[in-house]
Structure 1
Amino acid sequence: MTSYWKRNQLRLAPWLFLAPGAAMFLVYVIIPIFQSLSLSFYDWDGLGDATYIGTANYVELLDDEAFYTSLKNNVIWLALYLLAVPAGLFIAIFLNQTVRGIRIYKSLFFFPFVISQVVVGLMFSWFYAPNFGLFYKLIEWLTGDGIAILADEKYVTYGIIVAGLWPQIAYVMILYITGLNNIAPDQVEAARLDGAKGWKMLWHVILPQLRPATFIAVVVTVIGALRSFDLVSIMTDGGPWGSSRVLSFYMYEQALSEYGFRMGYGAAIAVVLFAIMMVFISGFIWKMWRDETER
């Protein structure tokens, strides 16, 4: 056994280090995914016996108006949340400069990342609050009539998304600052000697070296947009009249809140949400792999 270990130490050692993490990933991620998929074919209240009903939960989803509202809001979340990627990139480029007071700027932009989503939700709830909120007062001063963002069906989703973008941009910024610190200086210097600057430098020299950071930024932003539960729960609880629901919040309402205890139906919503997430992430992974193989 000792001689086998000595002969294969370099090959086996990485797997031994990966084994604890891989085991936890299997137990807490992979197995629950398949359990949710299985549960979506049952009618179960979480306590009694589960009754197999086939695809009835998915058929019910097709006629569920609340499901379509949640799905539409998730699409809006996804489209607008991806603005965090270019915004985080440009802030990171600004903070990567050596100018006076840059540490203060870095602290200000980093601050949203370290505070809880609960705190973010409460802050923006006060920011939007009718009669005394800063945003309400500003709109009232500009137009003569304030807007109660979180009480208006037309604007509530956009108001919550703005709240979510604040810490998300900070997170993406951190990823890009790390990537900028790893850029090869010789390539930048060679590009400068060739006359590249501004947008040409960014597009042809900087961004290609930031592909790993961009991949992580897009993946975490897509996941963040599709699992946007906490801010919705804190700021509106799905209201007004369910207009700010997203799929993760609707899943919670159906499976775990006093309105539902329909575990199977909630699992069906979770499966749909997981499928949407995998389509976007798999598509981006495929594009990244294709770009790398064509280089």
Structure 2
Amino acid sequence: MATASAAAPTARPQRSWYKRNEIAATPWLFLIPGILFFSVYVIIPIFQSVWISFHEWDGLGEMTWVGTANYERLLTDDRKFDVSFWNNVRWLFLYLLAIPAGLFIALFLNQTVRGIRLYKSMFFFPFVISQVVVGLVFSWFYLPREGLLNAILTFFGMEPVNILGDPALATYGIIAAGLWPQTAYCMILYLTGLNAVNPEQIEAGRLDGAKGLKMLWYVVLPQLKPATFIAFVVTIIGALRSFDLISVMTNGGPFGSTRVLSFYMFEESLSEFGFRMGYGAAIAVVLFFLMLFFIVYFLYSMWRDEKGAR
């Protein structure tokens, strides 16, 4: 009597670790190059700057440990640092005017009227030109005799004003120059956001009687929160690292009245006045933590709003 022999089960080939974790691992293959670049060019230099700030160093020779001496001098003994810090505060608050200005220009341009493409190009133009060019244009605009601003003032019977030569006005003149391209940038963000506004919510708002400012405040602005967040972060960072316009328009003058922290850091670290890398690094660390404070605050606010909406 023939007995049927049970066939031995065939063993499955062992899959590799990547095949078993392909869905989870594949995104990291794309992220790792970016993380490496970000670590090498951002994270590591931050820690290096903090380390250098505790030393006295000319950038070439041996570093000498001085502990917190650089920070103590910044906070107690340095009038230039005080001027630079309060100028940064002025930049910060006045630069935020670019956000509502960009929003209202975007609302104006988000219409179908004749010639709207020309208007968009005119408002977009400041964003695509270099900050150095913006600085030169406004320097010519502010010239005491030949400048267009004083020609307008003279035409209306007013006295000419030397904005960049007056310590009380120079900082505000540079901020006005910076607001020109920054408003264009915020306008672009809001135009992009307006294209994503849900038309059904607009119609529902109209049926409920919302129009004008009520429509803007209760229906449109809540949908523009992502654009507003990006506009706030980019504008705050731009205000705190304002260097190029100051370098082109006044070089920190007159009498050091237009210095900000980024320009003062450059003066102390790399200009003919110093090569004091440790002291410049201490200024950079203070500036970094100022930026970090605002960015963390807005990230937390956005996370809290999203959590509350769930």
TM bucket (normalised to shorter chain) is over 0.9
- Aligned equivalents of 2:145, 2:300: Cα separation in 1: 50
Return the offset for 1:3: 4.1
Give the alignment partner of residue 173 of structure 2, picking from 159, 183, 208: 159
Q: Which moved more, 1:268-277 or 1:3-12?
A: 3-12
- Aligned equivalents of 2:67, 2:128: Cα separation in 1: 44
Partner secondary structure for residue 147 of structure 1: coil
- Aligned equivalents of 2:198, 2:235: Cα separation in 1: 26
- Aligned equivalents of 2:73, 2:196: Cα separation in 1: 51
Partner secondary structure for residue 171 of structure 1: helix
- Aligned equivalents of 1:171, 1:244: Cα separation in 2: 24
- What's the counterpart of residue 89 of structure 1? 103
Return the offset for 1:139: 2.3
Higher alpha-carbon Rg: 2
Give the alignment partner of residue 233 of structure 1, picking from 247, 260, 276: 247
Give the alignment partner of residue 258 of structure 1, picking from 264, 269, 272: 272
Partner secondary structure for residue 16 of structure 1: helix
- Structure 1 position 150 matched with structure 2 position 158: no
Superposed CA offset, 1:45-102 (max 9, x none): 0111010000000111121000000001000000000011111111111111111110
Return the offset for 1:143: 4.6
- What's the counterpart of residue 70 of structure 2? 57
2:153 partner amino acid: I
Q: Is the 8 A contact 1:42 1:51 kept in 2?
A: yes
- Aligned equivalents of 1:281, 1:143: Cα separation in 2: 46
For the structure 1 residues 2 and 112, does the alpha-carbon distance in structure 2 shift closer, same or farther, using more than 3 Å as the test?
A: farther
- What's the counterpart of residue 176 of structure 1? 190
- Structure 1 position 78 matched with structure 2 position 92: yes
Give the alignment partner of residue 58 of structure 2, picking from 45, 51, 56: 45
- Aligned equivalents of 1:143, 1:66: Cα separation in 2: 38
Q: Which moved more, 1:30-39 or 1:180-189?
A: 180-189
Q: Is the 8 A contact 1:118 1:234 kept in 2?
A: yes
- What's the counterpart of residue 19 of structure 1? 32
- Aligned equivalents of 1:49, 1:88: Cα separation in 2: 49
- Aligned equivalents of 1:228, 1:38: Cα separation in 2: 24
- What's the counterpart of residue 298 of structure 2? 284
Q: Is the 8 A contact 1:247 1:269 kept in 2?
A: yes
Give the alignment partner of residue 100 of structure 1, picking from 114, 119, 140: 114
Normalising by the residue count of structure 2, what TM-score does the alignment of the two structures yield?
0.93
Superposed CA offset, 1:24-57 (max 9, x none): 1111111111110110000000111010000000
For the structure 1 residues 190 and 31, does the alpha-carbon distance in structure 2 shift closer, same or farther, using more than 3 Å as the test?
A: same
Superposed CA offset, 1:169-208 (max 9, x none): 0001111111111111111111112221111111111111
- What's the counterpart of residue 45 of structure 2? 32
- What's the counterpart of residue 114 of structure 1? 128
Q: Is the 8 A contact 1:81 1:225 kept in 2?
A: yes
Q: Which moved more, 1:46-55 or 1:196-205?
A: 196-205
1:261 partner amino acid: F
- Structure 1 position 222 matched with structure 2 position 236: yes
Normalising by the residue count of structure 1, what TM-score does the alignment of the two structures yield?
0.97
Q: Is the 8 A contact 1:140 1:147 kept in 2?
A: no
1:97 partner amino acid: Q
Root mean square deviation of aligned Cα:
1.2
5+ residue gaps, structure 1: none
- Aligned equivalents of 2:194, 2:27: Cα separation in 1: 28
Superposed CA offset, 1:220-274 (max 9, x none): 0000000000000000000001000000000000000000100000000001111
Aligned sequence identity (%) = 67
- Aligned equivalents of 2:97, 2:167: Cα separation in 1: 23
Return the offset for 1:216: 0.5
Partner secondary structure for residue 256 of structure 2: coil
5+ residue gaps, structure 2: 1-13
- Aligned equivalents of 1:200, 1:107: Cα separation in 2: 29
- Aligned equivalents of 2:233, 2:15: Cα separation in 1: 43
- What's the counterpart of residue 222 of structure 2? 208
Superposed CA offset, 1:9-32 (max 9, x none): 222222111111111111111111
1:32 partner amino acid: P
Q: Is the 8 A contact 1:130 1:147 kept in 2?
A: yes
Return the offset for 1:133: 0.2
- Aligned equivalents of 1:160, 1:241: Cα separation in 2: 15
- What's the counterpart of residue 5 of structure 2? none
